[in-house]
Amino acid sequence: MLKWVLLAGFAGVLFYWWRQKQRHPRQRPEVESLVRCSRCGRYVSVHSALRTTEGDFLCSEHAGPKQAGDPD
């Protein structure tokens, strides 16, 4: 008798744990943080931006090497 009570309790815990897992399938921020390109001032998502050694961010257009004649 006690065996079945323990088994039912264990199954309940397992089911509760499984439901908790189902409720949060993936943890990701709802709003992607934006950073400002230090060259053109455009806001780009932090994932597509490139971080310079100075700590500034560059958009994908300005992430490449500096072009001659570009204003700095």
Residues that bind Zn ion (CB under 5 A): 37, 39-40, 59, 61-62
Helices (H) and strands (E) in the chain — how many of each? 1, 4
Nearer to Zn ion, 32 or 61 (CB): 61
Nearer to Zn ion, 29 or 64 (CB): 64
Q: Write the DSSP symbol of residue 31.
A: S
- CB of 60: closest distance to Zn ion in angstroms? 8
With H, G, I as helix, E, B as strand and everything else as coil, classify residue 9: helix
Nearer to Zn ion, 35 or 37 (CB): 37
Rounded Cα gap, residues 62 and 40, in angstroms: 8
- CB of 38: closest distance to Zn ion in angstroms? 8
